[in-house]
Amino acid sequence: MASSKKKKKVCVVGAGVAGLGAARELLREGHAVTVMEQSDGVGGQWLYDPATDAGDPLGVAGAHSSIYASLRLNTPREAIGFSDFPFYPNKDGTGDARRYPCHGEFLRYIRDFCEAFGLMDAVRLNTKVLRVAMAQPDHDGGNLRWVVTYEGEEVGTMAEEVFDAVVVAVGQYTQPRLPTINGMDKWSRRQLHSHSYRVPDTFKDQVVVIVGSATRAARTSPSTSARWRGRCTSASSPPPAASPPACQRRCPTTTTCTCNPRSIACARTGGWCLPTAPASSPTPSSTARGEQSSAYMLGRTMTAPFTIDHIQHRYDYSFPFLDTAGAITVDDNRVGPLYEHTFPPALAPSLSFVSVTKLVVVPRFFEAQARWVAQVLSGRRSLPPPEEMLRSVEEYHRAREVAGVPKRHTHSIAFDWDYCDEFGDKYCEFPRLEEWKKELIWSSIRSTLDHPESCRDDYHDSDLVLEGLRSKGWLTGRAPATQDGEERAPNPQTHL
Ligand SMILES: Cc1cc2nc3c(=O)[nH]c(=O)nc-3n(C[C@H](O)[C@H](O)[C@H](O)COP(=O)(O)OP(=O)(O)OC[C@H]3O[C@@H](n4cnc5c(N)ncnc54)[C@H](O)[C@@H]3O)c2cc1C
């Protein structure tokens, strides 16, 4: 590790948890940081926006957030959040203290995080990044720098600023990815992507078909609202009761589960065996026939009154502002090439990405990526030569292909704890995730699959989890005394 640190002028694009976590890591490392955020507040997805994409129910352009009004977190609060800033409920009893709280509670936590670490000084709200392009080289041909063009508070006012580095943290759940369904273009009734769903009112007394992942579809389902009186069904998987149970043990990491052939490929779950649709279940090879207002799904025809809703819960990566002369592409949701999902070899380290990975503990993994970026920029750590990084990316892609993982899942880490822990060890001395948190997350995923309706309010913790909760003050309501562990009471003075 090199010793003398260099201070860089860094632009972070986006003030969601990834961008804010990045800002903190960069500030800690001594860099000068500007976070540009297009919205009028921090929080990204968690900044609930009641307006959907006006006139565009498939939501291809418009609002950033995909959060709907009744959304509760699907991850236990004790296991997520920034690594040293636990997502404790408010001490004064206000807010939502539940393990799986409503979305507003997470926004409150993100704002508290900003305040605790003095991040708002670095954040420019209402600042939309329009273009990020390479700057002309210095007369001495120095390091690659970037010109950031942005629209400021006053719409229509554009400005440019040159930075030594840009960290892209714009999230991944804004650009809906639409499926191909026969007859979709002729469907005369409503079609909606979940990105544009907010409240159930307009579906009252209608039959709704939800096309997409069983768990997320079940969560989004308007039937969870007391005001909903229609009928919902999911087209990509059977009702939860028909799913085979999770085998509750770890399998060798292969693409097909050795203990339950009906289970999700172990490579996608970090080796854990989880249930998925029975072998006989049709995938969304659905046919929508608009004229008759009927749809063929789950092996049967359904008729009007009928609304196809929530067509898929998938999203595409989108970086419309990036002008890298082809050095970065998005191909079937593979952003690349990206060394360790973070650095494009040809443009590293001055350009980096911190929120591309999926199925990681958020924002923890993003924080680790950002810490690595910050340390590489300061010269504390170095990267392999570009050709070596490129070779490594190609090997990774090949390995995934051999394992049968579709290209679009390139950045899915599938809660592979070994990968995440080793990433932290290897690149930035980021603390490993405690075992009790890993178990809590898996038990939460398992119960979401087994009991989607009740899992958030009816859960039972193992002894390991209970001990972990106790040791971190979750059961007593009091944070433990500061120790040399990963979680400490925040103190802006010592942290920045
Ligand atoms: C419906 C839904 C439910 C979810 N539930 C959970 C959950 O229960 N638990 C969990 O851990 N995760 C959940 N997630 C995942 C969630 O997205 C991540 O937890 C996290 O919010 C991602 O943070 P991010 O900073 O990467 O992206 P975002 O939160 O999307 O933030 C990106 C930011 O970049 C800004 N931005 C984008 N483009 C520009 C630009 N050109 N210029 C300036 N600013 C720009 C945006 O305005 C935004 O503020 C959920 C996601 C969705 C969609």
Nearest CA to ligand 1 atom 6: 73
pLDDT at 430: 97
* pLDDT for position 417: 93
pLDDT mean over 4-22 = 95
Q: What is the pLDDT of residue 144?
A: 93
Q: Which of 5-9, 23-27, 107-111, 180-184 bottoms out in mean pLDDT, i.e. has the lowest?
A: 180-184
The pLDDT assigned to 242 comes to 30
Q: What is the arithmetic mean of pLDDT over 56-72?
A: 80
* Atom 37 of ligand 1, residue of closest alpha carbon: 170
- Mean pLDDT over 242-247 rounds to 35
Closest ligand 1 atom number to CA of residue 171: 27
Who has greater pLDDT, 479 or 14?
A: 14
- What HEC string does 301-367 produce? EECCCEEEECCCCCEECCCCCEECCCCCEEECCEEECCECCCECCCCCCCEEECCCCECCCCCHHHH
Cα separation, 352 vs 169, in Å, equals: 9
Task: Give the Å distance between the CA of 3 and the centre of ligand 1.
Answer: 35
Instruction: Kindly state the average pLDDT of the residues 339-368.
Output: 97
pTM for this predicted structure: 0.85
DSSP secondary structure string for all residues of 386-422: HHHHHHHHHHHHHHHHHTT--GGGTTB-TT-HHHHHH
pLDDT band of residue 353 (cuts 50, 70, 90) is very high
Predicted confidence (pLDDT) at residue 60 exceeds the cutoff of 70: no
Q: Cα of 259 to ligand 1 centre, how many Å?
A: 35
Q: What is the mean pLDDT of residues 116-126?
A: 97
pLDDT at 204: 75
CA-based torsion, 308, 309, 314, 318: positive or negative: positive
Distance 16 CA to ligand 1 centre (A): 6
Helices of type H across 71-142: 103-116
Please state, in angstroms and rounded to a whole number, the distance separating the CA atoms of residues 83 and 85: 6
pLDDT at 432: 97
Whether the per-residue pLDDT at 345 is higher than 80: the answer is: yes
pLDDT, residue 294, reads 52
Is it the case that residue 158 has pLDDT exceeding 50?
A: yes
Segment 66-78 mean pLDDT: 93
Residues 28 and 52 sit within 8 Å (Cβ to Cβ): no
Torsion angle, alpha carbons of 422, 423, 427, 430, to 10? -80
Q: What is the pLDDT of residue 51?
A: 82
172 CA from centroid of ligand 1 (Å): 7
Q: How confident is the model at residue 236 (pLDDT cuts 50, 70, 90)?
A: very low
Residue 128 has pLDDT above 60, yes or no: yes
Residue 185 has pLDDT above 90, yes or no: no
Worst-scoring range by mean pLDDT, 18-22, 194-198, 225-229?
A: 225-229
Nearest CA to ligand 1 atom 29: 44
Pick the most confident of 13-22, 153-162, 178-187, 405-414: 13-22
pLDDT at position 208: 74
Query: Which parts of 81-230 are beta strand (E)?
Result: 81-82, 85-86, 123-124, 128-134, 146-151, 158-163, 165-168, 175-176, 207-210
* Maximal CA-CA distance, the chain: 71
Mean pLDDT of 7-17: 98
CA nearest to 150, candidates 35, 33, 63: 35
Mean per-residue pLDDT of the chain: 79
Structure tokens at 9: 């002028």
The whole-number pLDDT of residue 280 equals: 33
What average pLDDT does range 169-190 have in this prediction? 81
Determine what percent of the chain is predicted with pLDDT higher than 70. 72
Find the helix packing angle between 17-28 and 103-116, rounded to 10°. Answer: 20
- How confident is the model over 398-456, as pLDDT tens digits? 999 998 899 999 999 989 999 999 999 999 999 999 999 999 999 999 888 888 889 99
> What pLDDT, on the 0 to 100 scale, is given for residue 462?
96
Residue 190 Cα distances to 55, 86, 195, angstroms: 12, 42, 14
3-state DSSP assignment of residue 163: strand
Q: Note the pLDDT of residue 264.
A: 39
**DSSP per-residue string spanning 367-391:** HHHHHHHHHHHHTSS-PPPHHHHHH
> Which has the higher per-residue pLDDT, 372 or 201?
372
Residues with a CB atom less than 6 Å from ligand 1:
13-19, 36-39, 44-46, 64, 66-67, 71, 73-75, 80, 128-129, 169-171, 173, 321, 355, 362
3-state secondary structure of 437: helix
1 pLDDT above the threshold of 70: no
Confidence at 45, pLDDT banded by 50, 70, 90: very high
| Three-state SS at 81 | strand
pLDDT category at 307 given cuts 50, 70, 90 is low
Nearest CA to ligand 1 atom 8: 73
pLDDT tens-place string over residues 28-41? 999 999 999 999 99
Question: Among 24-38, 100-114, 259-273, 416-430, whose mean pLDDT is lowest?
Answer: 259-273
- Whether pLDDT at 127 is above 60: yes
Q: Which atom of ligand 1 is nearest to the CA of 366?
A: 26
* C-alpha span between 34 and 167 (Å, rounded): 10
